[in-house]
Amino acid sequence: MAESKRSMNNSLEPTAEKKYRCVFFDLDHTLWDYEANSVETLVELYEQYNLKSRGIESCESLSAQFRIVNTTLWDLYDRGSITSDVIRKERFKQILQAFHAYEENLCKDLSHDYLMQCPKKGHLMPYALEVLDYLSAHYSMSVITNGFEEIQHQKLKASNLTQYFDHIITSQRAGCRKPSCEIFNFALSSNGIKHHEAIMVGDNLVADMGGASNAYIDTIFFNPEKNVHDSFIVHEINCLSELRQIL
């Protein structure tokens, strides 16, 4: 159980006892280590397509450019400015263009192979399994993700996470995406609970924290890089192990 009271400085004062029944989790960057799995995949693709011969000096430079482009595109997607198809079509196009290495067929092959290989990686954020083992004894749990349906299920299977969750709610399944409150209402309905009986854990201030707050669901902001922000949230943690102090 968690004790919390929202205050003006984003801190918490333990006054009113909360009785949560369900914990909602984001997947990418929260449980599934997107960065580690992505880098491993890019290393494989860098060698497979001999990208050094195409002017991309190192795998590190490829990974750095991938992160810049990918973060920008997903932010636009979360804000409803682009569709998932745009991410698939534009991601490697923009990356290759940055190195003056764009070729249409190469772009298509890299995009296809990345989507085939990356979801099969199983790196998790530190303490993910330990925390899920602990929480599963006390709460039901669901994943709420904007990721693609088939791909997100592959990630969960590859990292042995499927067993922990009663529901895997993707934006494709729900017909809406975070930060829309509709996807959170869909999750509440799927679990047969009210908004005050759930709490959301995620790394994205807009999609996870903003969306859950719009649905009147308490939030736990996972901020492992300790990024400075002025968003209003209920709880903030830097390591998943800290969830045991809250739940």
Question: Can you name the residues that pair with 168 across neighbouring β-strands?
Answer: 143
Tokens (6 digits) for 108: 């298509």
Residue-wise pLDDT tens digits, 35-80: 999 999 999 999 999 999 999 999 999 999 999 999 999 889 888 8
pLDDT value for 59: 96
Cβ(119)–Cβ(151) under 8 Å? yes
Cβ(18)–Cβ(2) under 8 Å? yes
**3-class DSSP assignment, residue 221:** strand
Tokens (6 digits) for 23: 């914990």
Residue-wise pLDDT tens digits, 121-167: 999 999 999 999 999 999 999 999 997 889 999 999 999 999 999 99
- Residue ranges and CATH numbers for the domains of the chain are 2-33+124-246 (3.40.50.1000), 34-120 (1.10.150.240)
Residue-wise pLDDT tens digits, 178-232: 999 999 999 999 999 999 999 999 999 999 999 999 999 999 999 999 999 999 8
Tokens (6 digits) for 197: 């009986």
pLDDT value for 42: 98
Count CA within 13 A, CB hemisphere, residue 148: 14
DSSP, res 34: H
pLDDT value for 131: 98
- Whole-angstrom distance, CA of residue 218 vs CA of residue 200: 6
How far from chain centre, in Å, is Cα 21?
22
